Amino acid sequence: MDLQNTSLTGLRQLLDSRSISAPELADAYLDRIRTVDDTLLSYITVTPEEARAQAQKAQARIDAGSAAPLTGIPLAIKDNLCTDGVRTTCSSRMLEDFVPPYDATAVEKLKAQDFVMLGKASMDEFAMGGSNQTSAFAKTRNPYDTSCVPGGSSGGSAAAVSAGLCAAALGSDTGGSIRQPAAFCGVTGLKPTYGRVSRYGLVAFASSLDQIGPIAHSARDCGILLSAIAGQDPRDATSAAQPVPDFNEKVGKSLKGMKIALPKEFYGDAVDDEVKEAVLAAAKTYASMGAELVDCSISTLKYAVAAYYLIASAEAASNLSRFDGIKYGLRGEGKTFDQMIRDSRSRGFGDEVKRRILLGNYALSSGYYDAYYRKALALKQEFIQEYDRIFQTADIILTPTAPTVAYPIGQQDQDPVKMYTADICTVTVNIASLPAISTPCGYNKAGMPIGMSLIGRRFDEATLIQAADAFEQGFTVIPAKPEGGAAK
């Protein structure tokens, strides 16, 4: 069975037609994990017992003729989403032994459909990073070339989907953490509108930016998964009181007359030529479908990375203050209260997390709050207004997902600022609370995937899925070859 290319719809048909049973499908994925994941390290925790028990329950539902879209479908869950009775580490020593007594709302909704959880996918520690190499437990590798990073922070989820180690996965996106690894690993990732999916049970990084979303083989699959997890939640005051539509309702409809904006700042010298050429070629493909290309500008883009890291780091410093080894996290040693906390946080947090806590506390400190943090919040309003202006004359916006393809492991370890600036193509979406989807649009000379992003109006994920699907129908995906270690 070709686990790397079978869609959620295809798996649904196989299960409902009894061509394969839910337990057999779960075992097929578990076997592939055993075969491939020692090389990729996409999972921190694999849950075969839970998966088989859930598969048996799903099969009973299928046999009763009451299957939901995700009944019996094997998925991976990013390890910052709480799972009742299953370890949730956030890839950090601080939470190495944390076993939640409850499920995140998104996981709860998947369980209501009797999905099958294969395990918890690796990530950058507390979702802080763009390479998946800040993980304390499993530094995931790219399925297309295991000498390269898979992207981050949802690198484990993206690599697992790309390598056929799950049918689809949940990730979280604070500044591109679904879209960038999806681009690096040659799959599709959707960052929903802020508030579309409840954040209850998501271990917070930056509360005003975090959003849970799907990573899958296609835009249609992302729509199926988003339909399952979206909706208002009384346990999350930031979840939006918006109806949950059929996110695939526009799939297959003509793009004739759709206006697609291309902001010139996203196609500058900072973007590799091969990436730029692939995305602009995709724009021409859209034009051949009847879409109208519109030139535009986002003049404030040069401030995006600085504004994002000030806001995100300030919120991270606040959110992570609770991890002191007493209320939460690794228990420190010492004769005094201060010594215990210092030891807990020194040993529990990795370098990148410590760096962002320091930056965030600095930005929030007396004398610097107005100079930095308040100005970053003012820029947030500027970005919202810039996007509103573009959407007055365009339906969606097309940009590269990342300035480069996946880079070699270790290349940026000693230069965190270079890694931060690589987020230039993704962070404004989170700052402005917009939805965006990344899908493959080409490959460079070395065979590494190139991703393009479509950005839409708030709560208009259906149009993004429509446009991404239209492109995907004419694009041939070159599957990764993780068993060989690299694509050839």
Distance CA 431, CA 379 (A): 9
**Of 234, 230, 288, 290, residue with least CA distance to 259:** 290
Beta pairing partners, 454:
398, 437
Residues 6+ apart with CB under 8 A from 371: none
Q: What per-residue confidence (pLDDT) applies to 353?
A: 97
Concatenated DSSP letters of 209-243: T-EEEEEESSHHHHHHHHHHHBS--TT-TTS----
Find the catalytic residue in 42, 91, 153, 344.
153
**Of 251, 252, 262, residue with least CA distance to 287:** 262
For the segment 457-487, what is each residue's pLDDT rounded down to a tens digit?
999 999 999 999 999 999 999 999 887 544 4
Note the Cα 483 to chain centre separation in Å. Answer: 24
Find the catalytic residue in 91, 131, 154, 177.
177
SS3 278: helix
Q: What per-residue confidence (pLDDT) applies to 444?
A: 98
Q: What angle do CA 43, 47, 50 make, to 5 degrees?
A: 155
> Is 416:468 a contact under the CB 8 Å cutoff?
no
Distance CA 135, CA 129 (A): 9
Q: Which positions of the chain have pLDDT values less than 70?
A: 484-488
Q: Which amino acid is at 445?
A: K
Residues 6+ apart with CB under 8 A from 253: 466
Distance CA 321, CA 317 (A): 6
Distance CA 352, CA 125 (A): 8
Distance CA 297, CA 313 (A): 27
Q: Work out the end-to-end distance of the chain between its first and last CA atoms, rounded to an integer number of angstroms.
A: 22
SS3 417: helix
Q: Phi/psi of residue 86, each to 5°?
A: -120, 130
Q: What per-residue confidence (pLDDT) applies to 486?
A: 45
Q: Phi/psi of residue 296, each to 5°?
A: -155, 180
User: Which 8-state DSSP code applies to residue 400?
Assistant: E
Distance CA 427, CA 394 (A): 20
Helix, strand, coil % (nearest 5) of the chain? 40, 15, 45
Find the catalytic residue in 78, 120, 191, 250.
78
Beta pairing partners, 437:
190, 454
Distance CA 152, CA 173 (A): 9
Q: Which long-range contacts (CB under 8 A, 24 or more apart) does 97-105 make?
A: 98/328, 98/329, 100/201, 102/201, 103/201, 104/198, 104/200, 104/201, 104/202, 104/212, 105/198, 105/200, 105/201, 105/229, 105/233, 105/235, 105/236
**Of 163, 115, 216, residue with least CA distance to 2:** 163
Q: What per-residue confidence (pLDDT) applies to 483?
A: 77
SS3 130: coil
* SS3 sequence of 252-274: CCCCCCCEEEEEHHHHCCCCCHH
Q: What per-residue confidence (pLDDT) applies to 411?
A: 87
Distance CA 389, CA 168 (A): 35
Q: Is 78 a catalytic residue?
A: yes
Q: What per-residue confidence (pLDDT) applies to 484?
A: 58
**For residue 153, is the peptide bond before it cis, meaning its omega torsion is within 30 degrees of 0?**
yes
The predicted model scores a pTM of: 0.97
> Is 129:354 a contact under the CB 8 Å cutoff?
no
